[in-house]
Structure 1
Amino acid sequence: MADFSESKFDDGHQPMTSEERKLIFASSLGTVFEWYDFYLYGALASIIARQFFSGLDPTSAFIFALLAFAAGFIVRPFGALFFGRLGDMIGRKYTFMVTILIMGGSTFLVGVLPSYASIGVAAPAILIILRLAQGLALGGEYGGAATYVAEHAPQGKRGAFTSWIQTTATLGLFLSLVVILGTRQALGEATFADWGWRVPFLISIVMLGISVWIRLSMSESPAFQKMQDEGKTSKAPLSECFGEWKNLRIILLALFGLVAGQAVVWYTGQFYALFFLTSVLKVDASTANILVAAALLLGTPFFVIFGTVSDRIGRKPIIMAGLLLAAVTYFPLFKALTQAANPDLARAQAGAQIVVVADPATCSFQGSPIAREIDFTSACDIAKRGLAQSSASYGNQAAPAGTATHILIGDQRIDVPTATLNANGNQFSPESSAQIATFRKALAEGMTAAGYPSKADPAKIAKFEIVLILTVLVIYVTMVYGPIAATLVELFPTRIRYTSMSLPYHVGNGWFGGLMPTIAFAMVAQNGNIYHGLWYPVVIALATFVIGMLFVRETKDVDIYAKFLYWHPNRVRR
């Protein structure tokens, strides 16, 4: 049995035993598999849009697929509360087993779920249910993993040890990209788009078996076991967490002064960068996956580097620096990414700007995830939908009422028709369909004449520059994410740690971060500028930086064990 003597917790130089290292490795490895499951959906969002949301137009289908992806993030805080409560009451190990079984089972079922063409609206409905189940499970996963590892780590080394948990998210993404790429290469693009995309989901059942086997060999956290042996476990973790202002205040500071900014930087640097390459810059999916995977390989060691450095200089300086760097450099970095990935597009945007000239009163909101093609009948809407489906960046020019809507591509003018519906109101009239087809043909020809490419030219892709830019984005992720687990663990006492740290983490990463791709693409669809969506992570990162600098204190020297009941910004109270 592990030694739970007081000296073990007080001696900051006590090395980890080989058994403890094994348990921490097992926890980290199991989390890699969980993140692999969750990331698959994000990487295959465009294919899933065609498979399960084919009843919508392409732009709405992609936004809706992203929204279904985000649904898993929306419920994560509820999973944090439910599983956090279990983890604080019955232990970390048993909660681990439940979360991984739900996550793995849901992922496998996505691989066998019939498409929209087979069972209609039931397909996206079931898909969303499975996404919700995955989100609930993941809501209980991270807090348990971070708490488990931190409670095994010696005082003064928590940043280094918990940073290995932070690598699991990126390694899970990397593993998913490798499996997707290997399947694509083995089956071919056409077969992969048809049914081969299911293979990575089905393979997860093997990983689930391995993960369960690993976690069965784990023992309980020594800090929790000590507290349980002394009869000091919480009987009502939720009441203790949120019933008193002194603890609720810490939770709110953790969310708005740390996690919200960390979340948007993380999802911008990993998910949005991949979506931007494939959906906006039109880089071939396999090429984009390879480039992102290379950047992840180069950047992932920095999780451990920054986690270790945080044990020396503190968590706060590193996290705050990452937030500020990201906010200041996102726009130039993504513009450089455009130049490197699709120089023809960058050249066309500089030489022949596209402008939609229309009466603003005739323009609808373009970012709605539930809108159908037939919901957009005005000339302004048809113009913007056509440009959005071409991934074109455009500006908007307000025109007086009564002005005929038109598009300017440099010196070219393209007139845009207004649509009418058929007698049943369920599709465009034949005349309108013909006019819209003529307009889109003219738009495509006009964009081609102005030098706008239909996709990125593989011969012109500057791969080294792209990997360098993507690596910088990943390093920002490692700065804000590497020390965050240790920081959150150190904010809360053992008896309610699982619940207290899980909620701000999953509200931040589930809502602020998980919704980032959906919100950003909706912002782009509405505004027209391909970089407009970056304002979302920039504003959130800056707000978190200000709140964190003003109100969040350093935590690296806090003793995290059960003898302390509350951590306070100004003191530790016994």
Structure 2
Amino acid sequence: MATTTAGMAPRPMTGEEKKVIFASSLGTVFEWYDFYLYGSLAAIIAKQFFGGLDPTSGYIFALLAFAAGFLVRPFGAIVFGRLGDMIGRKYTFLVTILIMGLSTFVVGLLPSYASIGIAAPIILVALRMLQGLALGGEYGGAATYVAEHAPQGKRGAYTAWIQTTATLGLFLSLIVILGCREVLGADFDVWGWRIPFLVSILLLGVSVWIRLTMNESPAFQKMKAEGKTSKAPLTESFGQWKNLKVVILALVGLTAGQAVVWYTGQFYALFFLTTIAKVDATTANLFIAVALVIGTPFFIFFGALSDKIGRKPIIMGGCLIAALTYFAVFPALLQYANPALVAAQKSVPVVITADPAQCSFQGSPIARDIDFTSSCD
């Protein structure tokens, strides 16, 4: 279970290892900032780029566009993982950060649906997919880079810092959005929402500078010097069943559950408060920001604990806690955030009647108008 060597006292972290963790984490925080700006501003994105739909449908398609970034993340991990095996982690980092930063900056310049019609959501989804590709390579690459610097028995504690970057990136995006809202007021929803995206070009410059100061990991340098780097990593990973089943288990059995827990608890909670519970955006952002500050230290705690008791108990315990609490947490959020709405739903239930014969699949993310001509529509 634990990977520490018996009788060997853990040594303190060296200056080089601290630099590796700091540089890798800071660059990845900026990548997550870019990725989560879209999610943090989903309600505004829906109005700006899916204006041909009613508000509810617009929210749904805004979330689907957010999901497009997730669909391509595994491909990004494959492509940039292969690139990392060929040219090293450092230069792969530079490629991913450039793709992410430039894609985010372009979103800040992208004309709305009212200006260029259906081209706006199409370009937006394409940019989201580029972001997903970049993040797929960045996050896995950063974790690998730090793990290759970690001493025996400290891998969980070291890579836990990378796990904090997603939370810190979301936190940073919320802080920038709150600042812009406070300064711009009503103008934020009109044009000020673009500023957090445009600011990413500054973070891109800092990230590139940080990554240029980093050295290649010693483990990769050793493998390269000894000629032990894989000549066909994709074939070895996906072409052999003994390796492929491990990949499938990791994707479906481990990371899929972790992703549901994380994005439901942090990202969707914000969306739920603003769109379902009707909490004003500033208050909802503050609530989530405080929750992130409280929760972030536990990444480090449980990462270090996994070095002592193993990874599996930590993963299983986290998923179990989420399964037991999420179904109670969100009704409670609604009850305490907007009790009048809950009371209204109970006292005046909504009944919908439609003729099944008139029902058909309906819904286009780029439609200018939807004709609600039948009872089913």
Shared fold, TM over 0.5: yes
Distance 1:14 1:311, change over 3 A: same
Deviates more, 1:157-166 or 1:322-331: 322-331
9, 16, 30: which one aligns with 1:19: 16
Alpha-carbon distance in 2 for matches of 1:50, 1:22: 42
Structure 1 residue aligned with 2:337: 341
Structure 1 residue aligned with 2:240: 244
Alpha-carbon distance in 2 for matches of 1:290, 1:337: 15
Q: Which amino acid aligns with 2:124?
A: L
Question: 1:208 deviation in Å?
Answer: 0.7
Across the aligned residues of Structure 1 and Structure 2, the Cα RMSD in angstroms comes to 1.9
Question: 1:361 deviation in Å?
Answer: 4.2
Alpha-carbon distance in 2 for matches of 1:167, 1:329: 22
Structure 2 residue aligned with 1:164: 161
Query: Is 1:225 the equivalent of 2:221?
Result: yes
Structure 1 residue aligned with 2:296: 300
1:64 touches 1:370 (CA, 8 Å); kept in 2? no
Question: 1:370 deviation in Å?
Answer: 6.1
1:152 touches 1:221 (CA, 8 Å); kept in 2? yes
Question: 1:210 deviation in Å?
Answer: 0.7
Structure 1 residue aligned with 2:199: 203
Question: 1:98 deviation in Å?
Answer: 0.5
The 3-state SS of whatever aligns with 1:234 is coil
Question: 1:243 deviation in Å?
Answer: 1.4
Structure 2 residue aligned with 1:59: 56
1:20 touches 1:152 (CA, 8 Å); kept in 2? yes
Structure 1 residue aligned with 2:37: 40
TM-score by length of 2: 0.94
Query: Is 1:181 the equivalent of 2:182?
Result: no
Q: Which amino acid aligns with 1:68?
A: A
Q: Which amino acid aligns with 2:310?
A: G
1:39 touches 1:173 (CA, 8 Å); kept in 2? yes
2:160 touches 2:299 (CA, 8 Å); kept in 1? yes
Alpha-carbon distance in 2 for matches of 1:368, 1:125: 12
User: Superposed, which structure 2 residues align to 1:55-204 within 5 Å?
Assistant: 55-188=52-185, 190-204=186-200
Query: Is 1:313 the equivalent of 2:309?
Result: yes
Structure 1 residue aligned with 2:319: 323
Deviates more, 1:361-370 or 1:179-188: 361-370
Alpha-carbon distance in 2 for matches of 1:12, 1:380: 69
Q: How many residues align?
A: 371
Q: Encode CA deviations 1:372-415: one digit per residue, 9 max, x unaligned.
A: 7534322243xxxxxxxxxxxxxxxxxxxxxxxxxxxxxxxxxx
2:39 touches 2:267 (CA, 8 Å); kept in 1? yes
1:60 touches 1:370 (CA, 8 Å); kept in 2? no
The 3-state SS of whatever aligns with 2:351 is strand
Q: Which amino acid aligns with 1:93?
A: K
Alpha-carbon distance in 2 for matches of 1:264, 1:370: 28
Q: Which amino acid aligns with 1:125?
A: I
Q: Encode CA deviations 1:520-559: one digit per residue, 9 max, x unaligned.
A: xxxxxxxxxxxxxxxxxxxxxxxxxxxxxxxxxxxxxxxx
Structure 2 residue aligned with 1:498: none
User: Superposed, which structure 2 residues align to 1:365-384 within 5 Å?
Assistant: 369=365, 374-381=370-377
The 3-state SS of whatever aligns with 2:370 is helix
| Fraction of identical pairs, as percent | 75
User: Superposed, which structure 2 residues align to 1:2-13 within 5 Å?
Assistant: 13=10
Distance 1:368 1:319, change over 3 A: farther
2:42 touches 2:62 (CA, 8 Å); kept in 1? yes
1:102 touches 1:133 (CA, 8 Å); kept in 2? yes
Alpha-carbon distance in 1 for matches of 2:55, 2:252: 35
1:103 touches 1:137 (CA, 8 Å); kept in 2? yes
Instruction: Specify every segment of 5 or more residues in structure 1 that has no aligned partner in the other structure, as ranges.
Output: 1-7, 382-574
Q: Which amino acid aligns with 1:127?
A: L
1:96 touches 1:144 (CA, 8 Å); kept in 2? yes
Q: Encode CA deviations 1:112-147: one digit per residue, 9 max, x unaligned.
A: 112222222222222222112111111110111000
Query: Is 1:260 the equivalent of 2:235?
Result: no
Q: Which amino acid aligns with 1:41?
A: Y
2:118 touches 2:366 (CA, 8 Å); kept in 1? no
Question: 1:70 deviation in Å?
Answer: 1.4
Distance 1:201 1:91, change over 3 A: same
Distance 1:307 1:136, change over 3 A: same
Question: 1:242 deviation in Å?
Answer: 1.1
Question: 1:273 deviation in Å?
Answer: 0.8
Question: 1:320 deviation in Å?
Answer: 0.7
User: Superposed, which structure 2 residues align to 1:391-406 within 5 Å?
Assistant: none
Structure 2 residue aligned with 1:564: none
The 3-state SS of whatever aligns with 2:111 is coil
2:50 touches 2:365 (CA, 8 Å); kept in 1? no
Alpha-carbon distance in 1 for matches of 2:147, 2:357: 56
Distance 1:375 1:327, change over 3 A: farther
Alpha-carbon distance in 1 for matches of 2:328, 2:318: 16
Q: Which amino acid aligns with 1:110?
A: V
Greater strand proportion: 1
1:33 touches 1:208 (CA, 8 Å); kept in 2? yes
Q: Which amino acid aligns with 2:66?
A: F
Distance 1:88 1:317, change over 3 A: same
Q: Which amino acid aligns with 2:142?
A: A
Higher-Rg member (1/2): 1
191, 209, 213: which one aligns with 2:209: 213
